[in-house]
Structure 1
Amino acid sequence: MQRLNEILTTVDSWIGSSDWFPFVLLGTGLFFTIYLKFPQIRYFRFAFNVVRGKYDKEGDEGDTSHFQALTTALSGTVGTGNIAGVALALHLGGPAALFWMVMTAAIGMCTKFVEVTLSHKYREKTADGSMAGGPMYYMKNAQFKIGNKSFKLGWLAAIFAGATVLSSFGTGNMPQINSIAGAVKSTFQIEPWITGAVLSVILAVVIIGGIKRIAAVTERLVPAMAVVYFIGCFSVIFANAGNIIPAISSVFTSLFTTTAATGGFLGATIAYAFNVGVGRGLFSNEAGQGSAPIAHASAKAHEPVSEGMVAILEPFIDTIIICSITGLTLLSSGAWQEKHYNDFAVTDMSIIAGADYSDDVKEDRKALKEHLSGENPLPVFDGMLQVENGKIVSDVTVIHARSVAEDVTVNEYFGGPPLTGEVEIKNGVLQDASISFYGKSLVHSSPLTAIAFTKGWFGDYGQYIVSIGLLLFAFSTAISWSYYGDRAMTFLAGSGSVKYYRVLYVAGFFVASIADTTIIWTIAAIAIALMTLPNLLGILLLRKEMKLTIKEYWDGFKKEYPQEKTPE
């Protein structure tokens, strides 16, 4: 498992986690923001009129309303990225990472406007009468021009569709149930396989009904889960009102300087905070990834630009509102820099030779930070670790979750008796994953958010809000991504392949409930990049058509609604 994670991490370092990926993503969004004259600002208020159906026409083709398409797309983005992803970003990059998440969303509002408009324009009606769309359809049907030459990108469409199927597992399926199962286990002590089994059955029942049943579920689920979650967040924020200003201030003070080490947090560089924030921002709102256009393609609309405007609201709601509130909750609670007792994940742990390192000593903090960043790696332990009655007697320092672990106990297995004997360590890594390490360290993802929620008005009961919110958020994401995957399978192999895909999707959902968290997040990062890059290339090649499509929309709108004031 450790070896597999190392391979996947290497692959991810070449694409999604590379230094150039955030610049490609933000650069494309920034280009369209300037090229189209800030549509995310100019069309923002107008988008609300479109959502409530003010300009709808009887006979518009499609399977869902604007609002249902919006909530379906939101249910695909509002998930673990908002609860676990924000916590992971702060854990890795500090407060500055939150700023970059928000900036990614602000620019992503324009990116999503473009990709949804183009995808809706080139959607198709399938043999069963339902609508199918997404970037693979504009890649297949649109005429791309370079100079005097015209061509289509059918080959790129196939790559995107294949990546969408992979991403449906890596983004919408595996991380969601893994986070749910982890939160339910820590809160209610229910074994992950039980959670996975029950929710897999419910998932199967919902997705068999197709987009109409999915839309009917999400239009009720998304508003309800947002209300529950906000109540929990504000109970923490207001209970720690004195920390609100310092928390907000820390986001900006750490923006252009190395994030300071505080508590168990060992600090983060500017570049690392930027990469983490952009990466988590994309995972949260999926702007540029090309997933949301698949949901919006089902909407009843006669003008693709109007549906593109609806999509502008997604990153705003998902990241600028929900992720910001989550971030403020974590920062004001102080939980993100505190160590807590937890079972150590093997893939999140390393053992350094020498037991003299302490995060209470300034020189050690500097050395450990440079070790974690790769600037100046410390020597790792290699050999047989001596353990007596659960306590390590060898001269080592255990690093877990990017922090110095304290009060470490080694058990024969999870929940088992203390171990006495030797434990094999190779290059700082535990070789027998059945052996359990338990102690105090920083935590991240959904467990961190759950701890933060206990520091509000609801006390220990706050963790139940996280578990319930995570269950609703993440489960709705899994539902929506099943639709994205089945549309991609329809494109690749016809509608007959969808039933086999759904079986695999439900099976993968169950398996991921008991799989390693770190590997799942790495797979998700790779899958996101494999969708994003072809989509960004496609919309850049269609930039002139996008501008012309907007002009045609407003020309027609003025003729049809001469008394309406337009935001053009």
Structure 2
Amino acid sequence: MENLLTNIENINGAVNGFVWGLPMLILLVGTGILMTVLTRVFQISHFKHWVKNTIGGIFKDKHVTAHTDKDDMQISQFQSLCTALAATIGTGNIAGVAAAIVSGGPGAIFWMWIVAFFGMMTNFSENVLGIYYRRRNERDEWCGGAMYYLKDGLGSKKGCAFIGAFLAVMFSVFCVIASFGIGNMSQINSISVNMNSAFGVPNVVTGVTLMVLAGLVIVGGLKRIASVTERLVPFMAVIYLIGAIVVVVMNIDQAGAVFTSIIKGAFGMRAVGGGIVGSGIAYAMQWGMKRGVFSNEAGLGSSVMVHSSSNVREPVVQGMWGIFEVFADTIVVCTLTAFAVLSSGLVNLDTGEVISDQVSTALVAEAFSTIFGKFGSAFIAIAILFFAFSTVLGWSQYGSKGFEYLFGTKAVKLYQCLFVFFILVGSTMDLSLAWDLSDTFNGMMAIPNLIGVVTLSGTVMKITQNYVDRKIKGKDVKPMLSAIEEIQKVHEEEIAI
């Protein structure tokens, strides 16, 4: 048995190294650059527009936050964002940022910003395609995601029917497997370890408690998950950001030195390597991808599955929520974590050397403790609890959509029950191998998804230009709302009302 496990680890290490090696880095970043060029740098050229129609719309447009009727299986745009952020804002925002700094020094943060900038348009493109190719299932729920634009988008191209269908199945398989690892057991294990370390709570007690709480939410389906996340995500994000801002403000005299260290360190060989390894988490190579979920997940095709359930009609509108998702997760949350660590005195800003012997979550906890004392460690433990648990809720929806694509709508309840059971398993097991395996399958999701985005990049460009012509330039042109004629007609009528 020991030899078998060793062989599995060796094989997985080789596969993981390939999945998150240079070819994947080129594919991830290259896709972001391609979509940025094709959309004419939409994230900058139409910055005011997408901010107004996302975070600005929360306060001004009732349709953004309005709940659908009880019998309507759609969710609001804000709920779709919160559910997606529930999965993306996770341990990677704490442990992943600390790991990037330890590996590459302060300069790693610069590369995190650069890669996140292009990731905004990868996520934008995924969501545009998700809305454009989505359809209703037998429960009248929206179903969208990489599996649908691979099968119906890529598959509609001449000679690509088989490869489109095959890649759709592969994506779904990788998604389901990853949901049990990265999206479940690994997160729960992080919670149980931190709760035991900070408060002495037995792992099994944490596991049973979270299993019950998650079960009450997950088995209720997407609308219940969305109802919980739209309350939990803003609360947890605001509380964590306040804590991080307090640390930064108390060390404000270090702000200039921190920024200078980031810029200067970005162009040293060690910083560049660390930056690529740790930046954006979702765009990094093998080392930065381990020991936590990907930070913004742009390129994986995961969050598009919940974005596609939104009550939005315009694909580009949901795409703009994708831009904001990456912006909030990486540019805001990860940056504040980085500044909190770098300004705390735990890192030599001249050499980039980490003075503390702590790593990962413990390094961030120590940074917070320099201001909050013993409460700093407890604060981070509680933050991990909220961040990781919300990730579990979000990934349960991703996995259920992959499972539904493979086995049908009626099989989803079986998946949900299995998913909830593995929460208890995750709280009590040594998951080092499970982490490695789930890292691999999580990364493998990106391969078919990015193939779909690149091959359908022309479609994204046309839909985006169509939206810009109609909504920004005021031209009278027919909207591009859905690849399915019946849905296109319904959406046209709804928009006209």
TM over 0.5: yes
Looking at secondary structure, tell me which structure has more strand per residue: 1
Residue of structure 2 in register with 1:448 after alignment = 363
- Picking from 36, 39, 45, the partner of 2:39 is 36
For the pair 1:93 / 2:116, whether they are aligned, the reply is no
Is 1:533 the equivalent of 2:442? no
The answer to whether the Cα contact below 8 Å between 1:72 and 1:214 also exists between their aligned partners in 2 is yes
Q: Does 1:551 align with 2:465?
A: yes
Paired residues for 1:248-263 under 5 Å: 248-258=259-269
Distance in 2, matches of 1:30 and 1:98, equals 19
CA offset at residue 321 of structure 1?
0.4
Q: 1:508 aligns with which of 399, 422, 442?
A: 422
Question: For 1:491-506, what aligned pairs fall within 5 Å after superposition?
Answer: 491-506=405-420
User: Which residue number corresponds to residue 19 of structure 2?
Assistant: 15
Rounded to whole Å, the distance in 1 between the matches of 2:460 and 2:62 is 21
Shift of 1:21: 1.8
Give the match for residue 216 of structure 1.
227
1:167 matched to 2:169: no
| Matches of 1:561 and 1:218, distance apart in 2 | 38
**Is 1:50 matched with 2:61?**
no
Tell me the distance in 2 between the aligned counterparts of 1:450 and 1:23: 34
1:67-120 alpha-carbon deviations (Å, 9 max, x no partner)? 111111111100111112112222222222222222221111000110100011
* Shift in CA distance, 312/470, structure 1 to aligned 2, threshold 3 Å: same
2:26 maps to a residue whose letter is F
Q: Equivalent residue of 1:137, what SS?
A: helix
Using the TM superposition, give the Cα deviation of residue 272 of structure 1 relative to its aligned residue in structure 2, in angstroms: 4.5
Percent of aligned positions that are identical = 36
Alignment of 1:79-478 (within 5 A): 79-143=90-154, 151=161, 153-258=164-269, 268=270, 270-277=272-279, 279=281, 283-335=294-346, 442-456=357-371, 458-478=372-392
Q: How many residues align?
A: 452
Going from structure 1 to structure 2, the CA distance change for 1:125 and 1:560 (only over 3 Å counts) comes to: farther
Residue 419 of structure 1: aligned partner? none
- Report deviation, 1:511: 1.9
Distance 1:199 1:62 in 2: 26
CA RMSD of aligned residues (A): 2.9
CA distance in 2, matches of 1:120, 1:135: 11
Letter in 2 for 1:139: L
The answer for the alignment partner of 1:342 in structure 2 is none
Contact 2:193 2:203 in 1 (8 A): yes
TM-aligned CA distance change 1:228 to 1:322, over 3 Å: same
Find the aligned partners of 1:124 and 1:104 in 2 and give their Cα distance.
Answer: 32
Provide the residue aligned with 1:412 in structure 2.
Answer: none
1:72 to 80, 83, 90: 83
Using the TM superposition, give the Cα deviation of residue 56 of structure 1 relative to its aligned residue in structure 2, in angstroms: 5.2
Match in the other structure for 2:287? none
Cα shift at 1:8: 2.8
CA–CA distance in structure 2, aligned partners of residues 192 and 117 of structure 1: 41
| Distance (whole Å) between structure 1 residues aligned to residue 456 and residue 347 of structure 2 | 43
TM-superposition CA deviations, 1:419-440 (whole Å, max 9, x none):
xxxxxxxxxxxxxxxxxxxxxx
C-alpha deviation, 1:184, in angstroms: 1.2
Is the contact made by 1:281 and 1:319 (CA closer than 8 Å) also made in structure 2?
A: no
Query: Which amino acid is 1:35 matched to?
Result: L
Q: 2:73·2:141 contact (CA, 8 Å) conserved in 1?
A: yes
User: 1:6 offset after TM fit, Å?
Assistant: 4.3
CA distance in 2 between counterparts of 1:326 and 1:275 reads 17
Aligned-partner Cα distance in 1 for 2:235–2:195:
20
Structure 2 CA distance for partners of 1:523 and 1:99, relative to 1, 3 Å: farther
Structure 2 CA distance, aligned partners of 1:494 and 1:80? 32
Closer/same/farther in 2, CA of residues 200 and 459 from structure 1, 3 Å limit: same
Cα distance 1:37–1:537, how it changes in 2: closer, same or farther (>3 A)? same
Is the radius of gyration larger for structure 1 or structure 2? 1
Report how far residue 536 of structure 1 moved.
Answer: 0.7
Aligned-pair distance for 1:308?
1.0
Give the deviation of 1:469 after TM superposition. Answer: 1.4
Q: Distance in 2 between matches of 1:86 and 1:483?
A: 26
Letter in 1 for 2:385: L
Q: CA deviation at 1:560?
A: 7.8
Length-normalised TM-score, structure 2: 0.84
Give the CA deviation at 1:281: 5.2
Q: CA separation in 1, counterparts of 2:63 and 2:474?
A: 12
> 2:80·2:306 contact (CA, 8 Å) conserved in 1?
yes
Q: What CA distance in whole angstroms lies between the structure 2 residues aligned with 1:528 and 1:43? A: 32
TM-score between the two structures when normalised by the length of structure 1: 0.74
Aligned mates of 1:558, 1:329 — CA distance in 2? 39
User: What is the rounded CA distance, in whole Å, between the counterparts of 1:449 and 1:300 in structure 2?
Assistant: 38
* C-alpha spacing 1:175/1:103, structure 2 compared with 1 (3 Å): farther
Query: Aligned with 2:262: secondary structure?
Result: helix
Query: Is the CA contact 2:182–2:438 (under 8 Å) kept in the aligned structure 1?
Result: yes
Could you tell me which amino acid in structure 2 is paired with residue 462 of structure 1?
G
TM-superposed deviation, 1:507: 2.4
Cα distance in 1 for residues equivalent to 2:252 and 2:13: 39
The 3 A distance-change label for structure 1 pair 255 and 223 is same
TM-superposed CA distance for 1:204, in Å, is 0.9
Native 8 Å contact 2:15 2:440 kept in 1: yes
Q: How has the CA–CA distance of structure 1 residues 62 and 503 changed in structure 2, closer, same or farther, with 3 Å as cutoff?
A: closer
SS at match of 1:172: helix
Please identify which structure carries the higher helix content. Answer: 2
